[in-house]
Amino acid sequence: MDANNRHFTELLDKTDSAFQRLLDNPGSPEFTNAYENAKQELDFYISHMGDQLRKKYQNY
């Protein structure tokens, strides 16, 4: 597995884990923040990868 896929998988796992903790503790500000931060990190990574792919394939 290349580094990008590994990082993507780690971010997915982190987001899933944070979401599960939030589901188990719905009123917790700590778990809400952890989930929001993990989700934001994943969203940024997906956006960044999309930008890289667009640049790579813009001439095709």
> Phi and psi at residue 2, in whole multiples of 5°?
-75, 170
The parent domain of residue 20 ranges over 3-52
Question: What's the structural domain count of the chain?
Answer: 1
DSSP 25: S
Give pLDDT, residue 7: 95
Give pLDDT, residue 53: 92
The residue whose two tokens read 């979401």 is 19
- CATH classification at residue 27: 1.20.58
Is 59 inside any structural domain?
Answer: no
- Give the confidence band of 1 by pLDDT, cuts at 50, 70, 90: low
Is 21 inside any structural domain?
Answer: yes
pTM for the whole thing? 0.85
Q: Report CA Rg, the chain.
A: 15
The residue whose two tokens read 């394939």 is 57
In tens, the pLDDT along 5-58 reads 999 999 999 999 999 999 999 999 999 999 999 999 999 999 999 999 999 999
CA 50: distance to chain centroid? Answer: 13
Is 58 inside any structural domain?
Answer: no
Give pLDDT, residue 59: 81
